[in-house]
Structure 1
Amino acid sequence: MSDHLSSLLARLQQAADPELARQMAAYMKNRFVFFGIKKPEREVLTKEFIKSSRQIPVSDLLAMVYDLYDQTERECHYIAISLLERNYRRFTYKDFQMMYPLIDREAWWDSVDALRKPMSLWVKEQRQYLDEVMHRLLAADSFWQRRVAITLQLLWKEQTDTAWLERAILQNRHDEEFFIQKAIGWALRDYSKTNPDWVRSFLQRHELSRLAVREASKYV
Structure 2
Amino acid sequence: MNFITDLENSLRSNSNRETAIPMENYMKNNFDFLGIKTDERRTIFKANYEKYKSEIKADFRNIACELFNKNEREFHQCAIDLLVKEFKKNYVLEDIKLIENLIITNSWWDSVDVVAKYLLGGYLQQFPNETYPVIERFSNSNTMWLNRSAIIFQLSYKDKTNFELLKSECEKHRESNEFFIQKAIGWALRDYSRFNPIGVTNFVNATNLKPLSKREALRNIK
Compute the TM-score of the two structures, normalised by the length of structure 2.
0.92
Shift of 1:57: 7.0
The corresponding residue for 2:155 is: 154
**Which stretch of structure 1 is more off in the superposition, 42-51 or 104-113?**
42-51
User: Between the two proteins, what is the percent identity of the paired residues?
Assistant: 33
Shift of 1:132: 2.6
Shift of 1:158: 1.5
Contact 2:174 2:182 in 1 (8 A): yes
The corresponding residue for 1:18 is: 17
**Cα 1:170/1:197, change in 2 over 3 Å:** same
Contact 2:173 2:181 in 1 (8 A): yes
Contact 2:56 2:63 in 1 (8 A): no
Q: C-alpha distance in 1, partners of 2:41/2:188?
A: 29
Query: Is 1:194 paired with 2:195?
Result: yes
Shift of 1:136: 2.1
The corresponding residue for 1:41 is: 40
Specify the SS of the correspondent of 2:141: coil
Q: C-alpha distance in 1, partners of 2:145/2:137?
A: 13
The corresponding residue for 1:31 is: 30
Q: C-alpha distance in 1, partners of 2:177/2:65?
A: 31
Contact 1:53 1:61 in 2 (8 A): no
Shift of 1:52: 6.4
Structure 1: tracts of 5 or more residues without a match: none
Shift of 1:133: 2.2
The corresponding residue for 1:203 is: 204
Specify the SS of the correspondent of 2:195: coil
The corresponding residue for 1:5 is: 4
Shift of 1:95: 2.1
Shift of 1:127: 2.1
Query: Is 1:97 paired with 2:109?
Result: no
The corresponding residue for 2:83 is: 84
Q: C-alpha distance in 2, partners of 1:190/1:80?
A: 26
For residue 167 of structure 2, what is the amino acid of its counterpart?
E
User: Please, what is the CA RMSD of the aligned residues?
Assistant: 1.7
Compute the TM-score of the two structures, normalised by the length of structure 1.
0.93
Q: C-alpha distance in 1, partners of 2:217/2:183?
A: 9
**Cα 1:62/1:121, change in 2 over 3 Å:** same
For residue 143 of structure 1, what is the amino acid of its counterpart?
M
Q: C-alpha distance in 1, partners of 2:185/2:58?
A: 35
Cα deviations by residue, 1:165-206 (Å, 9 ceiling, x for unpaired): 011111111111000000000001001111001101101221
Shift of 1:147: 0.3
Contact 1:58 1:90 in 2 (8 A): no
Contact 1:155 1:190 in 2 (8 A): no
For residue 44 of structure 2, what is the amino acid of its counterpart?
L
Q: How does 1:49-64 map to 2 (within 5 A)?
A: 49-51=48-50, 55-56=54-55, 60-64=59-63
The corresponding residue for 2:113 is: 113
**Cα 1:54/1:151, change in 2 over 3 Å:** farther
Q: C-alpha distance in 1, partners of 2:172/2:58?
A: 35
